[in-house]
Amino acid sequence: MIEIREGRDEDAAGLIELIGTAYSEYPGCILDVDREEPDLRAVATAYRRRDGRFWVAERAGRVVGSIGCAPSTEGMQLFKFYVARSERRQGLGSKLETFVETEARQRKFAMLHLWTDTRFTDAHAFYRGRGYRETGEVRDLHDLSNSLEYHFLKTL
């Protein structure tokens, strides 16, 4: 059984494993926690500082999913949305995304948005299926993975 709960700083190792494994599915994607994703070391603290929320999904004590959100100038922004390969296409991603939708509506945001790596084509299909649309904006992160990201929006 999967439990979805608030993320804790103690989830760092599980989150790093989840995201590192997801990155390894794509050639050239590198997770450098200390230089590029230091918030993973204390995720609850990091999202509290941003006036945001963060959730993890656990199965048998193992982190199998994550999603975070925080206010931005464009609405509520999604972050760190990952689902373990073994849990994909079973509804977990939709459940996690619903946590963010609920949070955004409770806080009176009319828009959700996110940035996603251009290589994550399965994620793009998921977002489109959940009502997101691509804006046409692309940004270069200038990171170790040479990431380019697409911007997606969803009106609530």
CATH number at residue 94: 3.40.630.30
Tally of structural domains, the chain: 1
For 32-83, the pLDDT digits (tens) are: 999 999 999 999 999 999 999 999 999 999 999 999 999 999 899 999 999 9
Q: At which residue do the structure tokens 């048998």 appear? A: 60
113 pLDDT band, cuts 50/70/90, is: very high
Widest distance between CA atoms in the chain: 40
Asked if residues 22 and 68 have their Cβ atoms less than 8 Å apart, the reply is no
Mean residue pLDDT of the chain comes to 96
Residue 58 has a pLDDT of: 98
pLDDT class of 92 with cuts at 50, 70, 90: very high
* Res 104: pLDDT: 97
Compute the distance between CA of residue 126 and CA of residue 92 in angstroms, rounded to an integer. 12
Give the angle 149-112-72 at the CA atoms, nearest 5°.
Answer: 80
pLDDT of residue 101: 97
- Pairing outcome for strands 75-83 and 111-117: parallel
- Domain of residue 34, residue span: 2-155
Report pLDDT for 71: 98
> What is the average pLDDT across 111-116?
97
pLDDT of residue 103: 97
Q: What is the pLDDT of residue 52?
A: 98
State the pLDDT at residue 93.
Answer: 96
Using CA atoms in the order 118, 86, 17, 146, what is the torsion angle rounded to 10 degrees? -10
pTM (two decimals): 0.95
